[in-house]
Amino acid sequence: MKMQKLLVCGLVLAGLAWSVAYGQAGPEDEAVSFVASEADDEGADIGDGQESAADEADVPFIYFEGPDREVTGTLLPYATNGEAGVMVISPEEVFSDKGAPVYWDESWPYASYSQIHTGHATLYRKIVGNGYTVCVNAGHGTAGGASVRTLCHPDGSAKVTGGSTGAGAIYATAISYGTTMQDGTTEGVVNLQLAMILKEKLLHAGFHVLMIRESDDVQLDNIARTVIANQNADCHLSLHYDSTAYDKGFFVISVPDVYSYRHMEPVASHWQEHNALAESILAGVRGMGNRIYGSGNFELDLTQTSYATIPSVDVECGDTASDWSKASQEKIADGIVKGLISYFNIDPAWYYY
């Protein structure tokens, strides 16, 4: 009961904060008020056989009241309601908002290195959640990005490994087109499908989610995506499929063991966090029975980790020959979520699976 009351208080306080932050915009863009009460005979109509359980538990209810309708929800997933004109909503619906845009801010650290940043990300906050924000970055998907160049490293030094841009380069493609799957689908489309699946699973598990893109094109280059993540999330996951063509399996990109790179800021202050996150994600994905490429870990000098000030990892979810069906991506996403649960050492109470 104590936990339930704490959740109610959290919802009420979050509701007030939400009203201030979003100008009282709620479901369907209506003005919404939050009212907490204990369950009683005048509360939501609980299904047959469940009234006594609710009474014994002293069930707290949250009421969402809009100008055109009243929506009544309960914190307990077993509650039902057959009343005409009254809808009972699930915990996921109660605890999530519709997303708020995150616009570019030139004052952010490393923002001046970006060349493409007219787009925006979207932040989905749990009204009650585990407190951590995950940035989900569906790789590629920026029209015209391949024709623009940005510095590989903020200090102007050369890349220490190969990749889409070769070792020794000072400038890299701002954001590339990506590869093409063997069925002709572009990698950007495949990455986006996985990102949308992962978003829902993360929200379900109690995370706030910062989505870099939810469409085929967002005008944000790799540096912009990293800078936005740095300022608005606790970790940054960039989703990709490799350009090889033999269904190699899942692997993560870790920070190269090169002295000059690991002693360049901001890499010097964060490379151990990047690698620890990569290992947790890899363990979670492996634990779900997904195919893993070799050891599952490959070192590359990437723009993402060269500018990241939060734990960041590029995850390669297969290659052009891999199955990218929703069923296959669900399995990968489940592993990623489990890896994040482990990395942040989150109380399993927030893990709704």
The model's pLDDT over 159-203, given as tens digits with 9 standing for 90+, comes to 999 988 999 999 999 999 999 999 999 999 999 999 999 999 999
**Cβ atoms of 77 and 49 closer than 8 Å:** no
Q: The domain that contains 282 carries what CATH number? A: 3.40.630.40
Q: Give the pLDDT of residue 27.
A: 32
Do 85 and 115 belong to one domain?
no
**Cβ atoms of 102 and 67 closer than 8 Å:** no
- What residues of the chain score a pLDDT lower than 50? 1-96, 352-353
| Cα-based angle 165, 166, 172 (whole degrees, multiple of 5) | 35
Do 152 and 289 belong to one domain?
yes
Residue where one domain finishes, among candidates 60, 95, 130 = 95
Please state the domain count of the chain.
Answer: 2
Do 146 and 290 belong to one domain?
yes
Q: Give the pLDDT of residue 150.
A: 98
Do 325 and 271 belong to one domain?
yes
Do 81 and 114 belong to one domain?
no
Cβ-Cβ contacts under 8 Å for 215 (sequence gap 6 or more): 141, 192
d(CA 244, CA 254): 19
E strand spans, the chain: 33-38, 60-65, 70-74, 100-102, 121-124, 133-138, 149-151, 171-173, 208-211, 235-242, 250-254, 292-299, 312-319
Enter the pTM of the model: 0.76
Do 216 and 284 belong to one domain?
yes
**Cβ atoms of 3 and 37 closer than 8 Å:** no
Do 170 and 65 belong to one domain?
no
**Ramachandran assignment for 222, one of left (phi > 0), alpha (psi -120 to 50 degrees), beta (any other):** alpha
Closest CA to 102 of 216, 180, 208: 208
Q: Give the pLDDT of residue 351.
A: 54
Residue where one domain finishes, among candidates 95, 110, 136 = 95
Do 244 and 105 belong to one domain?
yes
Do 108 and 128 belong to one domain?
yes
d(CA 213, CA 203): 16
Residue where one domain finishes, among candidates 43, 77, 95 = 95
The string of pLDDT tens digits covering residues 68-127 is 333 434 333 322 333 333 334 444 444 445 799 999 999 999 999 999 999 999 999 987
Do 37 and 114 belong to one domain?
no
Domain that holds residue 68: 2-95
d(CA 242, CA 55): 55
What tokens appear for 90 in the block?
């699930």
CB atoms within 10 A of CB 69: 13
Do 266 and 145 belong to one domain?
yes
Do 157 and 291 belong to one domain?
yes
